Every structure is written in C-alpha cells, then in structure tokens.
Chains A and B, each alone.
Chain A
Amino acid sequence: MRYRLRLLVLAFCLLPGWGTASLPAAPNTDDPVLEARLNHLAEDLRCVVCQNESLAESRASLALDLREEIREMMRAGMSDDAVVESLVARYGDFVLYRPPVKPLTYVLWGGPLAFLLIGIALALATLHRRRTLRPQADVSPEALREAARLLRSDHSSHPGSPIASGRASRLSHQEER
C-alpha cells in the first residue's frame, strides 16, 4: 500500500507545476496523538449548550473552549478519568453521555437485562403451555373426516371465505396429529 502511495506522490510531483505548488496539508493540531485522545473522550461528552450534540462534533463557541480546556488538562498530564472528573465537578453528570453506574442509574443499566429476562421467562412459560396443550376435543369425528376429504379431493378453484379457511387449517392440524 505504502509503495503505491509513494509512487503516486512521486508521479504527481513530477508533473509540471504540481510539485512546486503542492504542499502537504498540516494537521489541524500540533499533537495528533493527543488530539485523537481528545476526540475519543469528547465523543462521550455532551456539549452543554447545544440541543443534543457531542463535544466532538459541536462547533459552538463554548464547545471549542471546553475542548481547549481539555487539551490543556491532557498536556498537563491529567488522565482521562481525571479530566472527566473535573468536568463533572463543574457541570454535573449532565455532561456525560455515558451515564455513570451509580445507585441512581442502576435501573437504567439493569433495565434492558431485566426486560430480556422477563421476556425469556414469559416465553418459556408459553412454550411449556403450548407443548402440553391438548387439542380441542370439541371437533366431531365427522367434521374431521370432512376436512380430510376436502383436503384430498381435487382442487377446484373455490378458495372460500377466510373464516372457513382459518377453521379448516386448525382442524387439519389437529387431524394430522
């Protein structure tokens, strides 16, 4: 990959005029590693003055100031956790897009799992019920025979009403057991 790129760059540089005018663009930052770390952190932080944007995307004035503040904190050697802590000290949990796990948010974090477990429990109960369900014994043997005859007989084009088809399909399923 790199070889091709170098070839391309060389080729472009050799073209008249391009080589001289074309400077590589400088990154918009002096420290790309720090910047990447900043962006990663800022994605999970809320721009507190915007309607609903992360600190990473927002172009609001305060958002840019906050990013600068975070940059300085990181340059001063603060860890990600320390940076987040200092922001929370000033803006509250509101600034976090990832809600902290504390008693106030147990329901939030535990909820989805609870929903799943309840759903599974209900489903298992239903399955159990359905397995042991006895067929309705109120269908007369004549009706069963009639259904079988209709199924086997030749298939003329009378689909009949949807109601009858529903009943008959149920009848036929009982019969096939």
Chain B
Amino acid sequence: MRRWIPLLVFAVLGVFLYLGLYLNPKEVPSPLVGRPAPDFTLPVVGRPGETFSPSEVRGEVWLLNIWAPWCSVCLEEHRHLPRMVADRVPVYGLTWKDLDREAAPLLARNGSPYVAAVDDHDGRIAIRYGVTVTPETFVIDREGMIRMKHVGPITPAVWEKKFEPLLRELQS
C-alpha cells in the first residue's frame, strides 16, 4: 500500500496547481475592509486654500477613487465614471504622486468626475490606505468604515456586480 503514496501526493499537488492557474498571485486582499478609513486633511486640487477631510462626509456613503494624471487607465475610467455612478453616490478623488502638478489643468480640461479631488503629493496618505496600483476605489459607509476596496478600473460589469448591491445595502 505504501507504493501508492507518491501518486497520491502528486495527485493532491496537481489539484492545487490546477486551481493555481486561475488565481492571480498579485491580487492582494485588503485588510482594511471593515476598519475605519484613515483620516487626513489635504488641499483640494484646483481650489487653492480649500481642504478636504473624510470627517466632512460623515453620515454619507461615498467613494474614494485613487488616481494619477500619469495613469492612462485612470483617465479612461474618468470618462465612464460619471455615467456609471449617475449621482448615486458622491465620488472623491485622491491624486497620487502628482509631482508635475498636472492634475488641476487636466481635470479642468477633461471634466472632473469628482465632487472634489485632493492632492496627495508625496503619496503618504495613499500608503495609509494600502494603495499599490492605480486606479483603486474604496467604498466608505456612513460611519466612516471602509466596506470594500476595488483594485483596477471600474467597468460597467464591475459596477453592476460589486458596487450596486453594496451601495443599495449601505444606503438603505
């Protein structure tokens, strides 16, 4: 009976390798889900003197979208975002590492999908949010807790499947 052990071990290994083919080793789940959204006070892009802080939107459900002017996927997302969101929920932007100060003119030119975009110039706030790529979007509830993190651009399919149900639940 011992002779069958190597085959058995390999079979188990094979199953895992098969499962592994359809996983993405780079997709890291966020441990921040279910925790309070890190607080910050940052200047608003394009409105000198103004700042924004998450505590200002306590009591509301809102989205925080991390983007950067040099991120072409983000700009693509901007084009479709207003249509998908359709004023369901306010969207605020976090501009990550905008070293060349391109955000303000860019948003003015293309139109901004955000209620307001803040300038995280040195990227420190983004680190607090565990950001690794752009774009990423956080759903934050009325109590200021992060309820979901979506990595990558929001497509209509993603909006339907992931965002809609959650927003319905949070806003009821």
Residues of A within 8 A of B (CB): 48-49, 61-62, 65-66, 68-69, 88-92, 94
Interface pair B28/A66, CB less than 8 Å apart: no
From A48, A66, A91, B31 is in contact (CB under 8 Å) with: A91
> Is the C-beta of B114 less than 8 angstroms from some C-beta in chain A?
no
Residues of B within 8 A of A (CB): 28-32, 35, 97, 122-124, 127-130, 132-133
Known A-B contacts A49-B132, A90-B129, A90-B130; A65 and B122 likewise in contact (beta carbons under 8 Å) = yes
Cβ contacts under 8 Å, B32 to chain A:
89-90
From B35, B97, B124, B130, A61 is in contact (CB under 8 Å) with: B97
B126 and chain A: residue at smallest CB distance? A65
Inter-chain CA distance A48–B133, complex, in Å, is: 10
Inter-chain CA distance A88–B97, complex, in Å, is: 22
Q: 8 more A-B contacts (CB under 8 A) besides A48-B132, A65-B124?
A: A48-B28, A61-B97, A62-B127, A66-B127, A68-B122, A89-B31, A89-B32, A91-B31
Question: Main secondary structure on chain A at its contact with chain B?
Answer: helix
Interface pair A90/B122, CB less than 8 Å apart: no
A48 and chain B: residue at smallest CB distance? B132
Interface pair B132/A62, CB less than 8 Å apart: yes
Inter-chain CA distance A65–B129, complex, in Å, is: 13
Inter-chain CA distance A45–B61, complex, in Å, is: 34
Inter-chain CA distance A88–B35, complex, in Å, is: 13
A92 and chain B: residue at smallest CB distance? B31
Interface pair A92/B29, CB less than 8 Å apart: yes
A90 and chain B: residue at smallest CB distance? B130
Closest Cβ–Cβ distance, residue A171 to chain B (whole Å): 29
Interface pair A65/B127, CB less than 8 Å apart: yes
Cβ contacts under 8 Å, B132 to chain A:
48-49, 62, 91
Interface pair A90/B133, CB less than 8 Å apart: no
Inter-chain CA distance A91–B133, complex, in Å, is: 13
Cβ contacts under 8 Å, A66 to chain B:
127
Interface centre among A68, A69, A90, A94 (most CB of B within 10 A): A90
What are 15 sample pairs from A and B whose C-beta atoms fall under 8 A apart?
Answer: A49-B132, A61-B97, A61-B123, A62-B132, A89-B31, A89-B32, A89-B35, A90-B31, A90-B127, A90-B129, A91-B28, A91-B31, A91-B130, A91-B132, A92-B29
Interface pair A94/B127, CB less than 8 Å apart: no
